[in-house]
Every structure is written in structure tokens, then in C-alpha cells.
Amino acid sequence: MMNMALQTTLRGHLVHNEPMGKHCSWRTGGAAEIYFEPADKQDLILFLTQTANDVPVTWIGLGSNLLVRDGGLKGIVISTLNKLNDLRLLDNGNVYAESGVTCAKLARFCQKHNLDGADFLAGIPGTVGGALAMNAGAFGFETWQFVKSVEIVNRLGHLESRESSEFKVSYRSVELAHSEWFSASVFCFPVKTDDEESNIKPLLAKRNASQPIGLPSCGSVFKNPQGDHAARLIEAAGLKGFCIGGACISTKHANFIINENNASATDIEALITEIQHQVKQKFNIELNTEVRIMGDKL
């Protein structure tokens, strides 16, 4: 799977059989065969160039949109959270952010530099890499509205810059070739033209009032169907507060599933399936997951 001499040259954190519940916001899930936190981008490239090409690789950031099944993940998990963390203002006024920068940190950075439009990112519990991969959005805005270009790293450790126009982007979806990942992005946010205060605090207050913040969840589990809201459908199906094992649908926001009592990943996935079944049966609407479900079942 890996050149054994590699472990002595890497500067990052490399472990075997790492419980993914430690790195996912649902606080549950099986173990990764190999778990790696690179020291920086150069360390990441070294790691990729010296690992076997047929070994599956999974990238994570905050793990806030991920359910790892109880049987765990084969291959390698790479965590970029606070590792690929370069964040700076470019000479042309654009913002360069590596994939491990949290969305909240990017929002505060833009506020500090008098840039407009980034406040919505404060309400996204994830990293730039994750926001790019799924076109994360909140409060009527989406990540790719502000992307000028991206930096891609592939399975061989090669870096490539691409313009945003080269990607097919839609609601909570971005098409990216297999074995390629977003390592950084250049964002173009307009300069504020008035003295209006940042919306970060009121937006977070709005989020906290309507969502079960601080509890182990992944945020919104399902994408909103066209012209409707997943939370409304789940509530209308009478499922608010419904539980399977230790996994419960939030009584505050029906599109959130809470790990309320040491839920297994199996409990959570069973609850997701039951929600889809009930909504399909009652309203003939297919609910598609926003959360990524991966790994082996026990």
C-alpha cells in the first residue's frame, strides 16, 4: 500500500486504524485503515507520489457532511483541516484559500479586509475544500458564485490550476474527475462600497435560532427538492422526534439527525432510509441525501 521508508520522511501525522468518529461531526463510524494529516501541501504531495495508485483515497475536512459506516473505510483518509491552511489577500484583491481553511475563518478574513458577500460562509460548518466539492450554500448564497479559479491535486500528486468556468456546477453538486481533489481556490468577493456592518452575527443568530447547533449532527441531511423543503416534508410526514436506536430526527429542525444516545452509523443510515421511505410513500417525492455515506457495513 505504501513505501515503508515514506513514514520516516513525512512530517505529518500518520496512523493506522483510526476511528473516524473522532473526525466526523456525527461522532460515530468505523475506522480508516490509514489516516494522514499532512504538515502542508508539500508533505501531501510527497505522500501521494509514494503511495500505490490502486489504493482508495478519501479526503475530509471538518467531517461535517460525512457518515462513515461501522465497518470503516478501506485505504487512505487524508484530513486537510487546519493543515492546508494558507489564507491570504492577493495583489489584485482576490482571496487565496487552501482547502483546510474553515469556512468561518474565510468569512472573518473577508470581513477584516472589507470584502462583501462572504458572510454566508460563517454559517457553513465545513472547510473550503468541502464547500468547493459540494457547492455548499447558506442564506441564499452558494460557494461557486464567488470562485474565480481552483487548484487541483490528483492521485499522482500533480497540481493544476483551472478556471471556474471549466466545471459543471449545480445545487450542492460539482463535477470533478475521479482521483482529483480541490487543494485551494481563488475567490473574488466585491469590495464593500458602504459602511454597512457585517451580517455574520445576525446570520449566525438566525441559524442558532432555527437549527440544533452544538449537538452531534451533520447539518442538513437531505437536499431540498425543487420548489419545496426537505424539513417541511419530513415534518409533514410526522417524523419530527422519531428515533432509530440512538439516532433521532431533531425536534428543532426536521432535516437534522442528532446522535442523541451513542448512535451507531447503522442507526443513522437506517433512519435516513426510513425518512426517504416515508416521504416517498406519503408525498411521492424522492429525498436525495446531501450527506456523503461511505465505507463498509458490519
Active site residue 290: yes
C-alpha cell at 201: 452575527
* 64, 185, 198, 220: the active-site residue: 220
Which residues sit opposite 150 in a β-bridge?
162, 185
User: CA torsion, points 233, 244, 22, 41, in degrees to nearest 10?
Assistant: -40
- Please spell the DSSP secondary structure of 47-72, one letter per residue: HHHTB-TTS-EEEESS-TTEEE-TT-
Q: Which is nearest to 258 in space by CA: 213, 222, 227, 223?
A: 213
CB 69 within 8 A of CB 265: yes
Q: Shortest CA distance to 237 belongs to which of 282, 192, 174, 291?
A: 282
Across the beta sheet with 57-60, the strand order is: 13-19, 31-37, 73-79, 57-60
**C-alpha–C-alpha distance, residues 260 and 240, integer Å:** 14
Residues 6 or more apart from 57 whose CB is under 8 A from it?
48, 51, 75, 76, 77, 78, 155, 179
Per the listing, cell 483546510 goes with: 100
Selected catalytic residue, list 69, 108, 172, 207: 172
Residue 1, all three cell numbers: 500500500
Q: Residue 119 carries which side chain, given as an amino acid letter?
A: D
Catalytic residue numbers?
A: 172, 220, 290
